[in-house]
Chain A
Amino acid sequence: MNKIYGSAAEALDGVLSDGMLIAAGGFGLCGIPELLLQAIKDAGTKNLTFASNNAGVDDFGIGILLQTKQVKKMISSYVGENAEFMRQYLSGELELEFNPQGTLAERMRAAGCGIPGFYTKTGVGTVIADGKEVKQFNGEDYILEEGIFADLSIVKAWKADDTGNLVFRKTARNFNPPAAMCGKICVAEVEEIVPRGSLDPDGIHLPGIYVHRIVQGEHEKRIEQRTTRTRENA
């Protein structure tokens, strides 16, 4: 079975449809599937719902799909870096479902593990609990949160072999493994496809069973907040 595709557009061929739910990896602009997002923009798929921790910035990440009004709804924990997002949200063009960050990650992980719901203390006594079942365990309240079963997962990894085993790099791992797990189909973009046998089997972060299509490409990897210190003895 060949999982390797020649371009992001080819890797998404036949899996996009209007109105679908897409789970996307990344935290801020770190570890986002930038090539696949660009390919979705080029494909013109509409009325999309994204489960993604953030919404990119105006001209990068999911932000590029907001500019073209391809996104109907975001399920996110933090969207503070995106002016166009705010404009569309405040004018009612865009739906927004805030999820606490850990709840969002667990909703993806749980769905990927076949768990349709779980109880968590996060959000008890806040607006997040509104309309959700409350259950007591050992005298404490927990709320029911549901798994996110996505139609499509798009993720970014550092390296893959041809079977789809993935290795991530540093904090660019973030939401990518749980996002990859919760989709019916997962497409991964990577910086490098390496020969089978060259990844340490003990060092695989996400086994290839979760990954259906792979594309290699050049990544811009933009930095959102460049912070540095000065050398004391320069």
Chain B
Amino acid sequence: MWDRNQMAARAAEELEDGMYVNLGIGIPTLVANYVGDKDITLQSENGMLGMGPFPFEGEEDPDLINAGKQTITELSRTAYFDSAQSFGMIRGGKIAAAILGAMEVAENGDLANWMIPGKLVKGMGGAMDLVAGVGRVIVVMDHTNKHGDSKVLPECTLPLTGKGVVDRIITNLGVLDVVEGGLRIVECADGVTEDELRAATEATLV
């Protein structure tokens, strides 16, 4: 089974030299630690390409934050722009990939990650725009929830973020692709058998 960092490292393998990429909050943020020598430009949807690491203590700038509202830094390649242009490049298909977390993914690529009815509702932020606009949507999440129920389902039970938008799912148990008729196992995580992966997956596997 993969831990958070191993999942992030596996997700980083999806990125190719020269890509412009948007990383979501949580495990996806860790992907930046594993891109190695690849020339990857990170987009922050609040208006920045070329996102740098957290600042050194004492060098935080209130005018320089990421989409998670955390203080960050700029790089020599950084460009700033307004929110309309930021989502113009997202909606316009200029961002090669988005790596983001999820509450549920369905076998047809439906994604739910923005609200749980009856609980506190915070909003979708930029998630709906990202999944509708970027070239490739990669979900990184735990395969099951804290009750042990599969998050990889025949159909989502929660309100959708996007319909038929997910291309690949990377979980602590392995990697799955959304294909015609269901999900296809790409690989199993270290120490996980295909039978174990199948048992933890409610969605149709083809």
**A residues in contact (CB < 8 Å) with B:** 27-31, 53, 76-81, 86, 98, 100-106, 108-109, 120-128, 158, 168-178, 205, 221-231
Contacts and interface: CB of A to CB of B under 8 A. Distances in A.
Given A173-B47, A227-B54, A123 B83 contact: no
B159 A127 contact: yes
A104 B86 CA distance: 12
A86 to B, nearest CB: 6
A171 B81 CA distance: 8
B129 A29 contact: no
B83 A101 contact: yes
Interface string B84-98: 101110110000000
Interface stretch (B117-125, B144-152, B182-190, B196-204): B117-125
B41 interface: no
A228 B84 contact: no
Nearest to A142: B132
A126 B159 contact: yes
B70 A225 contact: yes
B72 A227 contact: yes
B55 A105 contact: no
B128 A108 contact: no
Given A77-B125, A123-B132, A231-B56, A171 B47 contact: yes
Interface of B: 44-48, 53-57, 59-66, 68-72, 74, 80-84, 86-88, 90-91, 110, 120-129, 132-133, 159-164
12 contacts: A27-B47, A30-B62, A78-B124, A79-B122, A100-B124, A100-B128, A102-B129, A121-B133, A126-B159, A170-B48, A172-B63, A227-B54
Nearest to B59: A228
A145 B54 CA distance: 36
Nearest to B131: A122
Contacts of B56: 228-231
A102 B62 contact: no
A186 to B, nearest CB: 14
A229 B82 contact: no
B65 A229 contact: no
Given A27-B46, A30-B65, A122-B133, A79 B123 contact: yes
Given A78-B122, A171-B80, A175-B82, A228 B54 contact: yes
Most chain B CB within 10 A, of A31, A222, A231, is at A31
B87 A101 contact: yes
Contacts of B128: 100, 102-103, 122-123, 126, 128
A29 B64 CA distance: 11
A103 B129 contact: yes
Given A28-B65, A76-B123, A170 B74 contact: yes
A178 B120 contact: no
A128 B163 CA distance: 12
B70 A227 contact: yes
A5 to B, nearest CB: 23
A121 B55 contact: no
A174 B44 CA distance: 11
Nearest to A219: B62
Given A126-B163, A127-B159, A171-B48, A223 B83 contact: no
Given A30-B65, A100-B126, A125-B162, A226 B83 contact: no
